[in-house]
């Protein structure tokens, strides 16, 4: 099992300094709204590639007093493993360049992709409650976060695709018609777009397999079965069995074919940046966006649990922020039993300790108040 055994924060959000010693048990943070619980979850989320669970700017993470940012922030952790030596991870702001961060593993500078190979993190936050009714971009981000687990380089592929798309859009909006310039950018978009589409298609296939293989038991009544589909031409090509190079050629050809249409629109109209993750409530045969708020929450939790089970070999660490608050007592108990069965470290937050009674002494509990933490 891989778990975080030590967490140290320096000038991060509401914490000037914090040291936590953790076990491999579930970790519960409870306290009033604004106490600093989500700040702790966000700090842990920076132990994986990307911009954390709030997608905040690096310069906004440093603790502030009277509106003035403190010195550079830092998150340090020791990762314990039953198979390998302990690993020390350090993530922090570069003092001379507040908009940049530095990542170190065992004292050596490293990349986000290499960080993703050390630890598998998944999270669910209140902001995701609007996933099914919000824009497709939110669902793409949700899926891309899942895809990072399969492919740590997925984030870099996405960034490179978006950079090439932005440059192509500039040519389109400026009325530039240089064929060679377009072809060079479309070649980059095809390569990186195929990488992104392949990771998404693989992620959704694994998710579907896990959902379909799940026995129709009481847990499925509590967290209803989903029907998941991935809408996107490139992703669908992968799902139909095409190999990487064929999909890459398809994307490049599609961009070239639609170049004149894009020129009239002034932007790229087709591509992986328009893909969407669609979810239906299986028992009701109803789109998730038409379900009740409670059903949408249950579907979202069910998807997250299914993805965690599909990655069981990686022992993903789960961050669940205020997930139990809007569940009735039966669903809370079922969720805790499902989480415990995963056999992995997890972090949960809530306003009251009573929300986590179903752990029955199986969790490490901390009361959070005004930037201080007391183990109970």
Q: Looking at residue 268, what is its pLDDT?
A: 98
Q: Where are the beta strands (DSSP E) in 128-171?
A: none
Span 166-179, average pLDDT: 96
Dihedral sign of CA atoms 11, 12, 13, 17 in order: negative
One-character DSSP codes across 316-339: PEEEESS-GGGS-HHHHHHHHHHH
Q: Looking at residue 221, what is its pLDDT?
A: 61
Asked whether residue 336 carries a pLDDT value surpassing 60, the answer given is yes
> pTM for the whole thing?
0.87
- Identify the top-confidence range among 94-103, 112-121, 253-262, 294-303: 253-262
**Tell me: the pLDDT tens digits for 277-314?**
999 999 999 999 999 988 999 999 999 999 999 888 88
The SS3 of residue 252 is: helix
Asked whether residue 164 carries a pLDDT value surpassing 80, the answer given is yes
Q: Are 230 and 280 in contact (CB under 8 A)?
A: no
Degrees to nearest 5, angle at CA 288 with 282 and 293: 115
Asked whether residue 217 carries a pLDDT value surpassing 60, the answer given is no
Asked whether residue 83 carries a pLDDT value surpassing 80, the answer given is no
Q: Looking at residue 216, what is its pLDDT?
A: 55
Q: Looking at residue 319, what is its pLDDT?
A: 96
The distance of Cα 245 from the centroid of its chain, to the nearest Å, equals: 28
C-alpha to C-alpha distance for 200 and 145, rounded to whole angstroms: 10
C-alpha to C-alpha distance for 234 and 83, rounded to whole angstroms: 39
Q: Looking at residue 215, what is its pLDDT?
A: 57
C-alpha to C-alpha distance for 89 and 258, rounded to whole angstroms: 46
Q: Looking at residue 120, what is its pLDDT?
A: 87
Average the pLDDT over each of 99-108, 229-238, 276-285, 328-337 and give the range with the smallest value: 328-337
Which residue, among 230, 213, 347, has the nearest Cα to 279 in the 3D structure? 230
| pLDDT band of 219, cuts 50, 70, 90 | very low
Same fold, 1-120+318-376 and 133-314: no
Which residue, among 178, 176, 195, has the nearest Cα to 245 in the 3D structure? 195
C-alpha to C-alpha distance for 182 and 209, rounded to whole angstroms: 39
Average the pLDDT over each of 65-79, 151-165, 167-181, 228-242 and give the range with the smallest value: 65-79
Average the pLDDT over each of 111-120, 217-226, 251-260, 313-322 and give the range with the smallest value: 217-226
Asked whether residue 38 carries a pLDDT value surpassing 90, the answer given is yes
Q: Looking at residue 218, what is its pLDDT?
A: 46
Q: Looking at residue 112, what is its pLDDT?
A: 85
- Identify the top-confidence range among 116-130, 188-202, 209-223, 347-361: 188-202
| Nearest 10 degrees: Cα torsion 231, 234, 238, 244 | -160
Asked whether residue 220 carries a pLDDT value surpassing 60, the answer given is no
Higher pLDDT, 312 or 356: 356
Span 9-17, average pLDDT: 93
Sequence ranges of the domains in the chain:
1-120+318-376, 133-314
Pick the CATH number of 1-120+318-376 from 3.40.50.300, 3.30.565.10, 3.60.70.12, 3.40.50.720: 3.40.50.300
CATH superfamily of 133-314: RecF/RecN/SMC, N-terminal domain (1.20.1050.90)
């Amino acid at each position: 099992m891989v778990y975080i055994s030590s967490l140290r924060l320096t000038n991060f959000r509401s914490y000037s300094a914090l040291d936590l010693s953790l076990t491999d048990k579930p970790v519960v943070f409870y306290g009033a709204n604004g106490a600093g619980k989500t700040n702790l979850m966000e700090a842990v989320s920076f132990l994986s590639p990307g911009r954390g669970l709030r997608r905040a700017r690096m310069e906004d993470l440093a603790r502030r007093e009277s509106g003035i940012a403190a010195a550079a922030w830092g998150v340090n952790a020791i990762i314990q493993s039953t198979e390998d030596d302990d690993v020390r991870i350090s993530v922090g702001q570069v003092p001379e360049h507040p908009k940049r961060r530095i990542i170190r593993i065992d004292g050596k500078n490293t990349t986000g992709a290499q960080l993703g190979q050390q630890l598998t993190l998944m999270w669910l936050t209140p902001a995701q409650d609007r996933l099914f009714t919000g824009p497709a971009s939110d669902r793409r981000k949700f899926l891309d976060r899942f895809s990072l687990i399969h492919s740590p380089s997925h984030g870099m592929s996405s960034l490179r695709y978006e950079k090439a798309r932005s440059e192509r859009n500039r040519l389109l909006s400026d009325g530039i018609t240089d064929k060679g310039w377009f072809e060079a950018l479309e070649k980059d978009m095809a390569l990186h777009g195929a990488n992104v589409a392949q990771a998404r298609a693989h992620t959704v296939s694994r998710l579907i397999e896990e959902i379909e293989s799940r026995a129709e038991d009481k847990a499925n009544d509590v967290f209803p079965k989903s029907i998941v589909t991935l809408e996107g031409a490139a992703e669908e090509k992968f799902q139909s069995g095409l190999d990487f190079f064929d999909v890459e050629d398809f994307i490049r050809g599609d961009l070239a074919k639609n170049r004149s249409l894009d020129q009239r629109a002034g932007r790229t109209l087709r591509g992986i940046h328009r893909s969407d993750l669609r979810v239906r409530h299986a028992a009701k045969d109803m789109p998730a966006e038409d379900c009740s708020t409670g059903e949408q929450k249950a579907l979202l939790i069910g998807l997250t649990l299914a993805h965690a089970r599909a990655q069981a070999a990686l022992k993903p660490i789960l961050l669940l922020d205020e997930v139990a608050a809007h569940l009735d007592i039966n669903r809370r108990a079922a969720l805790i039993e499902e989480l415990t069965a995963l056999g992995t470290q997890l972090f949960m937050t809530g306003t009251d300790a009573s929300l986590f009674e179903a752990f029955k002494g199986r969790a490490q509990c901390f009361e959070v108040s005004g930037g201080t933490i007391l183990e109970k």
